[in-house]
Every structure is written in structure tokens, then in C-alpha cells.
Chains A and B, each alone.
Chain A
Amino acid sequence: MIKKEEINHIVKLSRLSLTEEEINIMEKELFQILNYVNLINEIKDLDKIQIENKKIKNNILSLLREDEIKDFSEEEKEFIFKNFPEKENSFIKAKKIF
């Protein structure tokens, strides 16, 4: 149902390094799960249901608020810095992007 190259594409999108063996197992398991999940396709007229965009939009708008900056306490900041895998002072160190 899903082809090998599609699985490889999903692995890439998922940002996961998997061994060839892991990918083979994943292929089998995803096939089994998708097969089950496809049950929803037997519901008639699903295409006719329009999820009310207007209502959703209004709900979201009512949740919006001004963007205010709230600082963490010094103690909280210390913990955050401690959690950086690689750092220099209070900066995260990473590989260069380009």
C-alpha cells in the first residue's frame, strides 16, 4: 500500500535515522496500522461534511491576546542553560547551517 520509497520519504520528513532493518519492520507495522485506520473510508458522505471554518476562526480569534514578554526568573534561566547540550555562556552552540 505504501511503497518503499514513500517510507523512506516519511523517514526523512520525520528526521529519524533508522537502520535498514528498522525501516523494514516499520513498513510492515505501518501497513497493518493503516489497514485498520482505513476503516473510516466506509463512512458514507464524509466528503459532504464541512467543518465550519467560520466557527473555528471565531474560536481562535477569541483566544488571541497581546504578545507580552514575560521573563523567566534567574533560577529558571540557570536550569534552561544547564539543559543546553553544547553551550558557550548563555548561548546554544550548534553546527553551522551553511
Chain B
Amino acid sequence: MENLTITKIVAGIKRKEFSPTEIVNYYLDKIEKEDKNIQAFLNVFKNSAIEKAKEIEKILKENKNSFKLLGVPIAIKDNILVKGFPCTAASKILENYIAPYDATVIKKLKKEGAIIIGKTNLDEFAMGSSTENSAFLKTKNPLDLEKVPGGSSGGSASAVAADLVPASLGSDTGGSIRQPAAFCGIVGLKPTYGAVSRYGLIAFASSLDQIGPLTKNVEDAKIIFDIIKGKDEMDNTSVSFFSKDKILSKNKIKIGIPKEFFGDSLDKNIKIGIENLIKKLEKEKIKFEEISLSHSKYALSCYYILATSEASSNLARYDGIKYGFSVLNDFQKNNKNLMDIYFESRGKGFGKEVKRRIMLGTFSLSSGYYDAYYLKAKKVQFLIKEDFNKIFKMVNFIFSPTSPFFPFKIGEKINNPLSMYLSDIYTVPVNLAELPAISIPLKTQTFNNFPVSLQIISPKFQEESLFNIASFIEKLENE
């Protein structure tokens, strides 16, 4: 049963090659044996998964099988609420928090017969690029246990890459699905802003956050995306949309290569890998054109101002009063006041990176600095959007590396926040412009066991086109 995909599991269950219970037990065993080394999971829902598998077997007997994920185990990043189970965001401040309701994406997955098998590790509140900022576990990269899995959806990526689960959900604010997918050699999709409901996603930067799938292939990413997308009355920023994508014949496709993304900061071997792919595609009559995203140089600065500003506001809700970690109990007997409860609960509950970002965001929004930072960054965001709008009048897609470098050693960057932030230079512009992008591994372009990953960016709501071209490349790479 090794290396099953969603399609294979659904087909296998239909043909009675294996039962949902067998599938669930297979993955539960694997997690029990192998997750000691990987540490992808914060919580495994053993009993509820086994129960759910039994329920599904009943449905199967009644032969009402039109569910798209019947019996498929899926792992969920631990910043997405699953009713009745802990949801920690890998933060001490939420260590004992129980999710009161299902996120909309979870409702949708359950409706299609998916089995939620557990919750995966992440950088605390999804802030980070290595999953080392988790308050609980250090997740390893299955391709090399000395290396980080990327982040912030590092648990979701490593669980899929280690075949502990066929697919998972992550969230992406500045690259948090695509970069760990690239580091672990799997597929990750960051949908268009608004394509997927954020209801039940623990907020980091609400104008940039999106939920998306991490999978073994492009087909599975499409299956999950088609299930979780769409307007939700619980998220006012979600929209209903119909794919207006025209299927282009190969010789009509034009792809932009942003020169700014292939400069000195890019690892030489990654550059070679992408160039080799371009040569292959040119043989297939696909046209390439050098383009310029002239403001991309400022994207990371812009991102760290906007994202931290929103985070400082979003994380104000953790006050030690309503839920989560609180020093209220310790203080009952002495003379501390309400303000002390806020300060102490937050001071003890949040980790280093989260505090750093709350501080930076509070600074950018504070009186006297708002115009110089937040407002300016908003204007830069506008310029970055305009760059993309112009380019997409000339080309259908933009190709870039997903990450400027291959996975780094655990501990290598954790004490240098800025060098960690640079992991996301190619992914943050996409979030700032609200665009969709997919990261796929190039299996023929592998260095020291790590495949080079390609990021494909399209205009808004053209996920369908992204899947088409990504599938085409995937096939070419598998030949």
C-alpha cells in the first residue's frame, strides 16, 4: 500500500482492494512507527479515525458511494479548527484550547468522506520558514533528517513526503504551503485570495492568509482544491467563482521569466534546474519571455510590515481572559490587576518569533510611524500588484524557483531572523498580489536528494490553468 495517492485510495476502496479500516490502520501504524523520527504530528486522532472508517464501511454497504474522498485520511495543520479536538497553532498560549467548531474546509472534507487523521506541526501561529518556531516539536525533513522541512506548514509537508498520510492541508501567508512543499519534494497550492474560506483558520495576517492542499501529485491537489473552494457566508472575503480558463494549446502558451528572480541570491543548482526545464519545454513549442517585476525587490520589506501589522492586531485577542493560557489563577491571591494578567499571560504564552512580530507590527501601526511604515507598505503593495497586472497582459504564466536555496540544517538560521525571512523572497509577492501559485518538484533535477522546485504563478482564479500546465510538466518529469 506504499505511496498511495487520493485517486488510488478512492479507486481501491471502490474496487474492494482494501477497506477504509485497512487504509486507516495502515497509516496509523506507519505514523506510530515512523513519526518518532519525523515528528510531523502534534496530535493523532486514532480512535475517531478508526470509528470514522467503520462509519464509512456502513455507507459503502448501502452503496451510496458518490463521495470524492471516501475513506481518504487527511492530516490538518494545527492552526485549522477540527471540532472537539485541541488546536494549538503550535503555541503555548493555545496548548489547552479545544476547537468548538469545524473550520469550513474541514466541514467540506468531512462531507466528502475524508478521515481527519491528526494535526500537524507548524511554526507558532504560522510565523516562520522552518517549523523550528513550534513550541512543542522539531519536525525533520524526510529527505534528510538533519535538515528543516521548511515552514510554516512543515508538519503537513513532511507527513505527506514521508508517506504518513496521502494528503494534508496547510495555510500560506507568505509561502507557508509552497516553501515546505518545495523543501520536502511534494506539490503545494496557494489558492487565489478569497478562493477558499478562512472560517476556522487561526488568523495570522487576514488579508494574505489562504488555506490550500499539500499532496503527492497535481491531480490530488486539484481534487482537494475543488472540494474546499467557494463562497462561504462565514467568511466575507471568500468569493464564488467559475473557472473562466481557456485551455490553451501548447504552442499558444507564453511564459514569463522574471529576471529579478534569477539573480545572485539564487542557488546555482536551482537556477540550472529551472533552465533545464525551460529547454525541455521549448522543445515542446512553449514560448518563454524574459520579464521584469521591477518592484519585487521591495516585496519582502512590504510583506514584513503588512503581515506583522495585521498579526499584532489579530493576536490582541489572546488576553488570558477568554481562552488559552492564562496566569489568572496564579494571580488570584495577590494584588495584580487586569493589565498584569494581559502582560504576563502574553509574555509567558507567546514564543520569541511571535513576540518579535507583534512588536514589529505594533511599531508599524503606532502613532508617528504609521505613515512611514504601514501606509508606505500599502502603496508598495499596490505597485507590486500593478507589476503583475501588466505582465499578465503579455504572458499566461510566470515561472520562478519556489525557494532561493535548498533545505538548510536545523538550527542554522534560527538565531538570525532576517536570513530566515529571506527564504520567502519568491513566494511573498504572490500573496501580496492575491494570486494563485503552485509549487511542484522537478524530479529529473535533483541535487543531493533534493529536487529543484518550480513555482508557477497565474492570474487570479485561474487555478484550473495552473493544474493543467503543472500536470503537463509533472508528466514530462516522470518520463
- Which residues does A use to contact B, with CB under 8 Å? 2, 9-11, 13-18, 22, 26, 29-30, 32-34, 36-41, 43, 46, 49, 51, 63, 65, 72, 76-77, 79-80, 82-86, 92-97
Contact of B342 with A15 in the complex, beta carbons under 8 Å: yes
The 28 listed contacts between A and B (C-beta, < 8 Å) are: A9-B366, A10-B362, A13-B362, A14-B359, A15-B319, A15-B342, A16-B355, A17-B348, A26-B356, A32-B418, A33-B304, A33-B356, A37-B301, A37-B304, A46-B379, A49-B382, A76-B101, A79-B83, A79-B99, A83-B324, A84-B322, A85-B320, A85-B321, A85-B324, A94-B321, A95-B328, A95-B337, A96-B338
**How far does the Cβ of B195 sit from chain A's closest Cβ, in whole Å?**
16
How far is it, in angstroms, between the C-alpha of A95 and the C-alpha of B312 when the chains are bound? 24
Q: In the assembled complex, which residues on chain B have CB atoms less than 8 Å from the CB atom of A77?
A: 100
Contact of A13 with B366 in the complex, beta carbons under 8 Å: yes
Q: Are A40 and B380 CB-contacts (below 8 A) given A85-B328, A96-B338?
A: yes
Q: Is the C-beta of B341 less than 8 angstroms from some C-beta in chain A?
A: yes
Among candidates A38, A39, A51, residue contacting B382 with C-beta atoms closer than 8 Å: A51
Residue in A closest to B327 when the chains form the complex, CB atoms? A85
Among candidates A11, A26, A40, A83, residue contacting B376 with C-beta atoms closer than 8 Å: A40
Contact of B297 with A39 in the complex, beta carbons under 8 Å: yes
Contact of B98 with A2 in the complex, beta carbons under 8 Å: no
How far is it, in angstroms, between the C-alpha of A51 and the C-alpha of B381 when the chains are bound? 10
How far is it, in angstroms, between the C-alpha of A82 and the C-alpha of B323 when the chains are bound? 9
| Secondary structure type dominating chain B contacts | helix
Q: How large is the interface on B (under 10, 10 to 19, 20 to 34, 35 or more residues)?
A: 35 or more
Q: Is the C-beta of B336 less than 8 angstroms from some C-beta in chain A?
A: yes
Q: Is the C-beta of B76 less than 8 angstroms from some C-beta in chain A?
A: no
How far is it, in angstroms, between the C-alpha of A97 and the C-alpha of B324 when the chains are bound? 20
How far is it, in angstroms, between the C-alpha of A62 and the C-alpha of B97 when the chains are bound? 35
Among candidates A39, A76, A80, residue contacting B298 with C-beta atoms closer than 8 Å: A39
Among candidates B99, B312, B339, B373, residue contacting A14 with C-beta atoms closer than 8 Å: B312
A-B pairs, top 8 by smallest CB distance, nearest first, are A17-B347, A85-B326, A79-B100, A83-B323, A17-B343, A95-B338, A37-B301, A49-B379
Q: In the assembled complex, which residues on chain A have CB atoms less than 8 Å from the CB atom of B383?
A: 43, 49
Contact of A15 with B378 in the complex, beta carbons under 8 Å: no
Q: In the assembled complex, which residues on chain A have CB atoms less than 8 Å from the CB atom of B322?
A: 83-85, 92
Among candidates B98, B337, B338, B342, residue contacting A79 with C-beta atoms closer than 8 Å: B98
How far is it, in angstroms, between the C-alpha of A83 and the C-alpha of B339 when the chains are bound? 21
Q: Are A15 and B343 CB-contacts (below 8 A) given A30-B363, A40-B298?
A: yes
Among candidates B100, B363, B379, residue contacting A76 with C-beta atoms closer than 8 Å: B100
Q: Is the C-beta of B350 less than 8 angstroms from some C-beta in chain A?
A: yes
